[in-house]
Amino acid sequence: NAATTKTDPEVVRKMIPYFSDIYGNPSSLHGIGQKAKEAIEHSRAIAAEFINASPDEIIFTGSGTESDNLAIKGAAYANNLKKHIITSAIEHHAVLESCHNLEKSGFKISYIPVDNNGRIKIKELKKAISKNTLLISVMHANNEIGTIQPVKEIGKIARENNICFHMDAVQTFGHLNIDVEEIGVDLLSASAHKLYGPKGVGLLYKRKGVKINPLINGGSQEGSLRASTENVPGIVGFAKAIELSKNLMENENAVQAHLRDKFIQGVLENIENVFLNGHPVNRLPNNINFSFDFIEGEAILIGLDIEGIAVSTGSACSSGSMEPSYVIKATGRSSVLARGSVRFSLGRFNTEDEIDFTLETLINLVKRLRKISPLIS
Ligand code: PLP
């Protein structure tokens, strides 16, 4: 559910007519085109209202990744004078790789470290600010460990220093309350497939007056900031997903936080040498991330998958060897513990029975794997 969610059946139902009946190009002047255009503008209003923004501050994109790229590179290229960006060490690749790319064009990037719970070190962030800083990009909550960042505090610091603040809200949009005025955010990325909407559609909130350059040139769609014929069914589906989240979010969060805490307690009580990653309290209601000593995360992933339980590990396989998760390492864990990390993420369609079954399966699996682990002498 952190990697992606099942598209809600109500979202699918809402999208279907926009493939077959109202299939017009929103730039066309005939009736069927204008109906598609109206659907986009209605969706834009829904997205804007959800975060206390105005409709003309919403740009629909093709993904969260694209929104991050557009925010960071767009802001960097629109600013001729300043050449410094501040971000955190545990951002998603969409942010980190955008920053790496800018480094090649002469921009200087400060990657601020995090504490043991994954919270950004505010003192270090403040120290990194210079006259040359054009942007601070910090995520709302981390996708691996679920830690929620002190974004209001960061927004205040950015504002006091006249720096633009971008927040990657891909993991929180539709899950936590977001008010762009309250946080003081200038650019915000979101993605539909993380809130039971379709894949391949995202949005960027851009505060009025904030300057960014487009990355895709062509027609004048999306205020000339994202040329391309719009993904009408995707945008309509995104808006429907937002409406559902608005109604269900509070209750879902309470249910998931209860299941999360039950699962965490069950693991800590029944498995030895296991460590909870991320913040004990300031974390996403649906995120659980544990490091298991003496076992590779992949072994747990495969063992659970056989039982029909889908989890993930932050480790990435590059050239045949397992790279430990950079996020878990940034919180101070050893490479071995980072390799032994597993993320369990809960969602709208999970039941308490599934959580109980997962816990029981995990306890038995860890016992079996530790018996054969070469890491235990
Ligand atoms: N940022 C964060 C924090 C994410 O979790 C993700 C998705 O995994 C992305 C950005 C990228 O979003 P998308 O999959 O829509 O490109």
Average pLDDT, the chain: 96
- In ligand 1, the atom with minimum distance to the C-alpha of 3 is 8
Residue 318: pLDDT above 60? no
Residue 114: Cβ-neighbour burial (10 angstroms; 0-12, 13-18, 19+)? buried
The best mutation among 5, 92, 139, 149 to test binding of ligand 1, ranked by most ligand atoms within 8 Å of the C-beta, falls on 92
Residue 363 CA, ligand 1 centroid: distance in Å: 30
Average pLDDT in the 335-346 region?
95
Summarised one tens digit per residue, pLDDT across range 244-258 is 999 999 999 999 999
Average pLDDT in the 205-222 region?
98
| Ligand 1: residue whose CA is nearest its atom 5 | 143
Summarised one tens digit per residue, pLDDT across range 223-282 is 999 999 999 999 999 999 999 999 999 999 999 999 999 999 999 999 999 999 999 999
pLDDT of residue 322: 73
317 as an active site residue: the answer is: yes
191 CB within 6 A, ligand 1 = yes
Per-residue tokens: 79: 């600013």
Q: Predicted confidence band at 374 (pLDDT cuts at 50, 70, 90)?
A: confident
Per-residue tokens: 14: 């809402």
pLDDT of residue 149: 98
pTM value is 0.97
Summarised one tens digit per residue, pLDDT across range 293-303 is 999 999 999 99
pLDDT of residue 316: 63
Residue of 32, 310, 317, 375 with catalytic role: 317
Q: Predicted confidence band at 75 (pLDDT cuts at 50, 70, 90)?
A: very high
| Ligand 1: residue whose CA is nearest its atom 4 | 170
Average pLDDT in the 153-177 region?
98
Residue 318 CA, ligand 1 centroid: distance in Å: 20
284 CB within 6 A, ligand 1 = no
170 CB within 6 A, ligand 1 = yes
Lowest mean pLDDT among 103-112, 139-148, 322-331, 355-364: 322-331
Residue 39 CA, ligand 1 centroid: distance in Å: 25
List C-alpha distances in Å: 305 to 291, 298, 310, 365: 18, 10, 6, 11
Residue 362 CA, ligand 1 centroid: distance in Å: 27
143 CB within 6 A, ligand 1 = yes
Per-residue tokens: 349: 């369609």
Residue 315: pLDDT above 80? no
168 CB within 6 A, ligand 1 = yes
pLDDT of residue 279: 97
171 CB within 6 A, ligand 1 = yes
341 CB within 6 A, ligand 1 = no
92 CB within 6 A, ligand 1 = yes
